[in-house]
Structure 1
Amino acid sequence: MPNCVDVVLLAQYNETMNRRLYDAATKLSPEELRSDRKAFFGSLLGTMNHLIVGDTIWLSRFALHPSRFRALDSLRGLPVPTSLTQSYGDSLPQLQAHRTRLDKIITALAEELRPSDLDQVLTYQNSRGLRFQKRFGSLLLHLFNHQTHHRGQASTLLTQADVDIGVTDLLELIHEVEAPGGSSIEAVCHAAEG
């Protein structure tokens, strides 16, 4: 399960990749952005909109966490999307405004977490009214995995339109560290085995 450092890293990755996605999308015309490309949510804009919908739904559920995170205060009392395709706008600038706001909330939430928050059980209802109780740390992993899944679809749509989003690997944001005593991790592991 993730620890608080992992969640901060995933929030940074999320924000960085979303910024790259939107920067790359500016290279397409409004018509190209709206064009049905036979993706799960149709167009590139449809896919980007779905990411906003998904994050809004999950962050609204996270606002029910017993720790009552301050980062989620702005979402409390707001209407929750009732459809996975509910529109947050039909232009890139409209979607980008929502995306930027959500990414700031996600980053603030990650920085606010304490280890005990991750082990809490969150009770929530899905859009069909079914009730669930799941470990909060695992639900955070789902939030980031959902982002990565649909951003992958969006980056494929951009590639098919001859637009390069750049490197999308999480590895790019993981800081290099040196093992104790300056030796490599492999050497430390082999020494422990021997």
Structure 2
Amino acid sequence: MTGGSMPTCDDILLLARYNATMNRQLYDAAANLPHEAVVADRGAFFGSLLGTLNHLVAADSIWLSRFAGHATIFRALETLRGAAIPVDLRQSYGDSLPLLREQRERIDGIIMALAAEVTAADLDYVLAYRNTRGATFCKPFGSLLLHFFNHQTHHRGQASTLLTQAGADIGVTDLLVLIGDRPPA
């Protein structure tokens, strides 16, 4: 993508699939660690691996709640309309990996369903939303989706470092693995 162009619907589907795949890999690798290693403060921005994964669930919940304000009434976001929106990026969704994973899988299902519903016209829509401090912003929905997925990738990178420090291997994390080959044009 260059200079102000929107992502395509195919881009959004690819990023949603990548998100769910990488989250599964993270949680699978973390499940091999003892609880003490998952909750140990490793000096990361959100302290522990569990704190980092919790932040991702909180931030994704906040963004999905904002996306529910889109003029298109996305069926995937129906359960979020009228639901309490987290006010803290450190809100806890569980003090154990299995509890948090349950939330993660629910959210990843919502993200996959949303990605399947989004149209090109939806991507151009300018969404008004408030941040956690109450400031109002108006930004193109397609660009917000890119931020949403980029934020997840950023923190999953931190989580993969924490896993590596704890002796766990999450495997290949490149988006490239999910991009299919095509014959040359």
For normalisation by structure 1, the TM-score amounts to 0.92
What amino acid does structure 2 have at the position aligned with 1:108? A
State the Cα RMSD in Å: 0.6
Q: Which runs of 5+ in 1 are unaligned?
A: 181-194
Correspondence 1:90-109 to 2 at 5 A = 90-109=95-114
Please give the secondary structure, in 2, of the residue aligned with 1:14: helix
Q: Deviation at 1:27?
A: 1.1
Matched, 1:115 2:135: no
CA distance in 1, matches of 2:182, 2:7: 19
Q: Which runs of 5+ in 2 are unaligned?
A: 1-5
What amino acid does structure 1 have at the position aligned with 2:82? G
What amino acid does structure 1 have at the position aligned with 2:59? G
What amino acid does structure 2 have at the position aligned with 1:132? F
Please give the secondary structure, in 2, of the residue aligned with 1:8: helix
Partner of 1:154: 159
CA distance in 2, matches of 1:28, 1:119: 43
Counterpart among 23, 26, 35 of residue 21 in structure 1: 26
Give the percent of matched residue pairs that are identical in Structure 1 and Structure 2.
64
What amino acid does structure 1 have at the position aligned with 2:75? R
List per-residue Cα deviations over 1:128-154 (Å, max 9, x = no partner): 110000000000000100000000000
Please give the secondary structure, in 2, of the residue aligned with 1:162: coil
Counterpart among 170, 173, 176 of residue 171 in structure 1: 176
What amino acid does structure 2 have at the position aligned with 1:105? I
Matched, 1:138 2:143: yes
What amino acid does structure 1 have at the position aligned with 2:50? L
Q: Deviation at 1:179?
A: 2.2
What amino acid does structure 2 have at the position aligned with 1:47? T
Q: Deviation at 1:123?
A: 0.3
Q: Deviation at 1:161?
A: 1.0
Partner of 1:11: 16
Counterpart among 123, 126, 133 of residue 128 in structure 1: 133
For normalisation by structure 2, the TM-score amounts to 0.96
Partner of 2:48: 43
Instruction: Please identify the structure whose Cα radius of gyration is greater.
Output: 1
CA distance in 1, matches of 2:24, 2:98: 12
Report runs of 4+ in structure 1 exceeding 4 Å deviation: none
What amino acid does structure 2 have at the position aligned with 1:179? P
Matched, 1:32 2:37: yes
Matched, 1:63 2:68: yes
List per-residue Cα deviations over 1:95-136 (Å, max 9, x = no partner): 000000000000000000110000000000011110000000
